[in-house]
Structure 1
């Protein structure tokens, strides 16, 4: 499988993906698992997505990781709707690794096509990519794709199981299946006969799986589109929910780590004997670097505090490696130099930009920059491993976004085959892309390898977590606009520079060389709906040894700031209102225009604002951004205190995400993304000196406090379109909307993140 996966991935990357819609794959291809689902006594599996017990409980298999986004509830709703299950008897379970759970949408969405490009090449590329990912892809939770990826497969799974139970009941009752009704887990016939799911499930399992089943029309939905309480809320309230750090197998030991303070460095030597003489310590061992991480040392002890205090007393000697001389100033200089280079490749081109700029009455130019950012998940990295070499097996408990890759990472370190490793996915105390990496899983496996037969939980402190991240790469951009004498836009140019994320991920995960364009740091400018008469969007990849990774909203997180603040500058130069100016560039995009105008109305755009509670003047700023298939407009209402402190009082947001499966969940995710984005806009910054990350904890890398959180108003546009991404689209427009509000207040154009007033 490894060589086949490598061949197919390399082919797709080198060709930009060859590239019909991934959802057009035959339903059966994502219905039946290769290995039977494990069942409890009284349970039967009707397909790879659900099990039904004799107690009437429906257990939905949710292959996506729950990290606060409400995906366990949303995807259970999708199955329960088509199954006509009793929602009060629905439970969820994470399935074992299987190809039917591979994330197809995340790969298809990663193809470097403009969203308006729906031609044959785009459709063909999507079909080919989905086909390949079905066979050799990964189970991944990321890219705001969970509901989008499984919207059809899980509906088909529910409808298929419903049809099988109807067929079983029809055979038992000797009546036509068309005469049987199903509602809330009860099958009934006009003759008066009825049975609950649990009574017919075993017979239904013997029915053939139907090739095609009719799905409900939206007007027939009884669950979907309703705001339902999350299934995982009770356990999180009463403390019974199991996150990675809550795992407690019998006889558990704890391992604390200390990694080389220079990113990518290795351990040279340390005093193992001295560490092992400390109270409670069972073992001290050297750690190799894994999957782009740093080397270090671990101390295993009976209690977490014993392990932590012991490892902190060590004085290891380090091989600091090639990054020992890297600092933020030199990094930024490399990026700015790259702005003067252009390979000639453009992610988007329209019209004649040369003619537009040469014939312009006025041109505008601006440069922007965004720093490296840490993920700062509330639960630091951790993983628990039990290695049993005599039985040739291992058990892993991991808060991971990629269970199959995590399983393989552990297997490789332990000298096992992946199928010899049982991977249990726990709840995640935040992901944001950090847990798409498997360095911490491999590290935990290395620790467990040294203590066979003993479960060991390897955990990182906040300091280790923040200083050994796979950071969002820093990025710089140069934007230009050409205007005629009446202030109309003639042309637009954007050129940015930054590290490539996908190239690094493919190398450290699959051992593949860099190939093809990487849209992850250019997305957010080339893929926007604005109808420029002429435009060119390009991006220069800067090759640096610094390891970077996916961060909530990825390239959109900085490119939206670049473009949406610049658009405000252009609107000002044209003498136009920012909302009106954007609307004029969206004449052929009515959905985007409707989102913008609804948000402006919601916020009272153009109406006078009262003073802030401290008497300071308030102002509004606006931004519009499309990401992960969804469009979000945002208006930020802010003030500046006498102490120059930036205060955000209200945020108004409107999202078009297609059909909202669980509106309460959508609103929660938009609000979460706003808080996440505001933290980054005000405080987010990781700096380097001599290869060392300068920040270490929340005292010097703050996140937004509760008393700083604004009042948030969110509306969801009604839509019958298929669901799109929700977890990330609320983050990108926050920073530019705030920057635009600050310009309205102070006249200062802030082109660098985090936002600081002079």
Structure 2
């Protein structure tokens, strides 16, 4: 997700960053080791109300046990357990949290056990919401996690001073031990945990100066590396319960239609291992003793479906197509709601020496992740519900699950396994999620049920990145420099679709981000938002609006440079000359690439190549990207990507590098190959054979440069992507002499070299 600023005035650090640490050791949480020191974070709510909520959670939901934010448990055996507000899904957040707390606690991060916390209001750490996404996790929790570790260390020092009968300032710590150097005595943290139970945390514990950091800023190995390498990591698809049944589904061919009859239901019920056949909203499910048998049954179903209604939200007619949707966006009104306005745009255009206009578009995109969607539901004898599912917002899923099951939210226990990747796939998207089906089937069968979607069902039901469209006009002065730039974003975004009730702004930030708030010193600017609804299920996708809007803007900026007779790199340098942060970043990427090369040139292997450049400001970080590209058989071949990223400051540079590399791969895949095409109201691609993604042959070398400017901490998981599409397309324009304004490149034969 992107700009998650609710109506109430709060910054990304306001609620979580300034919260006091509390000693919760005597609250009697189930599942906590006897004699353990337990610390939590008060998110600024009334203490009595917070205590009531947490204690209620412990009583109602003994598994997994607590609703206390940033629940840190120092055990008598010296190990540390952290119940994290965030979900681990490959982004390395568990390792980063262990590094951050371990730094101040003076404990090796490798000794931490990090688990995802259960649902509860006390974990609403991102501006009153709890979610893992938008590259928010580390930057929203960094200061508090440091204070949590520092507070725990100070309490252990106090306990040791009393035990050893020495002044507290005569003690130091060393990787899990309190040391009294004068006498040579030392005590392990586990030995002191019980004594610390009676202590109250101090609110004025100093933090380490950054110059003394031992683990923050270092490439600490991932905590989940061994389990992933040995196959021990458990994902939702791996969950097995006693007596569990397996379900496969056949979804309606058109969104918004329902099953009328199943012509061969008796025949399906007679197949080996089949337990039952069930009609569900928009689908028919087959339940069996194995998923393979369930799938064979689902594939054999002959279902008569209702006819699709007219186009509209949550229904797709037989006449709907992606080309018709693009035409609707293109024919939308010129004027919209101002998302950004600076200077006098109209006067600047009236005085312009020349005007440059262009339109850009980008297609619907699938998440196309390797982890198939799945969910496991089990009702207990008391009517409560356990639900195992991949998710990025446990509390939201708890609410939806409770409504589906007809129970109270407190009766729903959400278990959040490690995710097989994020990419925005694991938010709640109505028909794009399988867990309501698992709940209904578990209720109907009286047994635990696992629903697993086949690749074909996932490609048919996945919530999509919206198809995007933007218009541009730029006014140039007599010197060829832009004096005004007007952009218009047309469409609908996932913020407005799924969180419109929380965010009251008339402008959907997920539609305009990447067009507004650019770092360039163009004196007169305006960005408009024109809302046009999509009838399909839309979703967050890695880097959200930035994934297409930075392509639109940065490609168009090269057109502006050409119209004004400017080199594209030199134009950007001129436009950021008064911003030291952006100037340094642009120079850093050029230095990493061995200098900027304008125009076509011959590489050592004899291929004719060109370079493209782009800048982006996604999710609180800044990036600059250079791509080196050649053409072969009418296709773009990307040889190198240089990406300089400035996230302000860094916890784990190895994780930053990997995240930027993976984002670059996804961005390049979308640039070259990916698109979801609708014809006749149906998606044409139902598996990877018709939806190609980046392969090894197309994967370039990726060179990552990390610049720590000291600015407020930004995100990491998504910022590496937005600069890739425009940098590649800008290089292609140099090679072909033609501007590609519609992705992916695969649909446009590249010739004319």
Report the TM-score, using the length of structure 1 for normalisation. 0.89
Q: For 1:429-468, what aligned pairs fall within 5 Å after superposition?
A: 429-437=420-428, 439-452=433-446, 454-468=447-461
Q: How many residues were matched structurally? A: 701
Whole-angstrom distance in 2 between the partners of 1:31 and 1:432: 34
Moved more, 166-175 or 232-241: 166-175
Taking a change above 3 Å as real, the CA distance of residues 739 and 31 of structure 1, as seen in their structure-2 partners, is farther
State the partner residue of 2:193. Answer: 201
Q: For 1:128-277, what aligned pairs fall within 5 Å after superposition?
A: 130=127, 133=128, 137=129, 139-189=130-180, 190-271=182-263, 272-277=265-270
Whole-angstrom distance in 2 between the partners of 1:203 and 1:327: 68
What does the per-residue CA deviation read over 1:474-516, in whole Å, with 9 as the maximum and x for residues that have no partner?
A: 1111111111122122111101201132222036xx7x89863
What does the per-residue CA deviation read over 1:335-361, in whole Å, with 9 as the maximum and x for residues that have no partner?
A: 1111x3323x21111111111111111
- Structure 1 segments, 4+ long, off by >6 Å, are 32-35, 512-515
Whole-angstrom distance in 2 between the partners of 1:96 and 1:616: 55
Which of 292, 295, 304 is the matching residue for 1:317? 304
State the partner residue of 1:333. Answer: 327
TM-fit CA distance, 1:29: 5.4
Whole-angstrom distance in 2 between the partners of 1:348 and 1:516: 12
TM-fit CA distance, 1:221: 0.9
Q: For 1:242-391, what aligned pairs fall within 5 Å after superposition?
A: 242-271=234-263, 272-288=265-281, 295-322=282-309, 323-324=316-317, 325-338=319-332, 340-343=333-336, 345-388=337-380, 390-391=381-382
Indicate conservation of the 8 Å contact 1:62/1:76, yes or no.
no
State the partner residue of 2:386. Answer: 395
Whole-angstrom distance in 1 between the partners of 2:613 and 2:21: 42
Whole-angstrom distance in 1 between the partners of 2:660 and 2:23: 34
Taking a change above 3 Å as real, the CA distance of residues 286 and 515 of structure 1, as seen in their structure-2 partners, is farther
State the partner residue of 1:9. Answer: none
Moved more, 240-249 or 16-25: 16-25
Indicate conservation of the 8 Å contact 1:256/1:304, yes or no.
yes
What does the per-residue CA deviation read over 1:430-461, in whole Å, with 9 as the maximum and x for residues that have no partner?
A: 22111012632222211211122x22110001
Whole-angstrom distance in 1 between the partners of 2:22 and 2:320: 50
Taking a change above 3 Å as real, the CA distance of residues 56 and 597 of structure 1, as seen in their structure-2 partners, is same
Taking a change above 3 Å as real, the CA distance of residues 63 and 693 of structure 1, as seen in their structure-2 partners, is same
Taking a change above 3 Å as real, the CA distance of residues 720 and 205 of structure 1, as seen in their structure-2 partners, is farther
TM-fit CA distance, 1:607: 4.5
Does the alignment pair 1:51 with 2:67? no
Q: State the secondary structure of the residue aligned to 1:410.
A: helix
Indicate conservation of the 8 Å contact 1:409/1:441, yes or no.
no
Taking a change above 3 Å as real, the CA distance of residues 258 and 614 of structure 1, as seen in their structure-2 partners, is farther
Whole-angstrom distance in 2 between the partners of 1:259 and 1:304: 16
**Structure 2: gaps (5+ residues):** 41-69, 310-315
TM-fit CA distance, 1:666: 0.1
TM-fit CA distance, 1:546: 2.2
Indicate conservation of the 8 Å contact 2:376/2:389, yes or no.
yes
State the partner residue of 1:730. Answer: 720
Does the alignment pair 1:487 with 2:480? yes
Indicate conservation of the 8 Å contact 1:87/1:184, yes or no.
no
Does the alignment pair 1:499 with 2:486? no
Indicate conservation of the 8 Å contact 2:98/2:109, yes or no.
no
Does the alignment pair 1:471 with 2:464? yes
Whole-angstrom distance in 2 between the partners of 1:395 and 1:32: 29
Which of 689, 701, 710 is the matching residue for 1:711? 701
Whole-angstrom distance in 1 between the partners of 2:392 and 2:257: 26
TM-fit CA distance, 1:535: 0.8
RMSD: 2.2
TM-fit CA distance, 1:159: 1.4
Indicate conservation of the 8 Å contact 1:32/1:100, yes or no.
no
Whole-angstrom distance in 2 between the partners of 1:744 and 1:237: 43
TM-fit CA distance, 1:177: 2.1
TM-fit CA distance, 1:614: 7.0
Q: State the secondary structure of the residue aligned to 2:426.
A: helix
State the partner residue of 2:586. Answer: 596
Whole-angstrom distance in 2 between the partners of 1:682 and 1:615: 23
Taking a change above 3 Å as real, the CA distance of residues 616 and 528 of structure 1, as seen in their structure-2 partners, is same
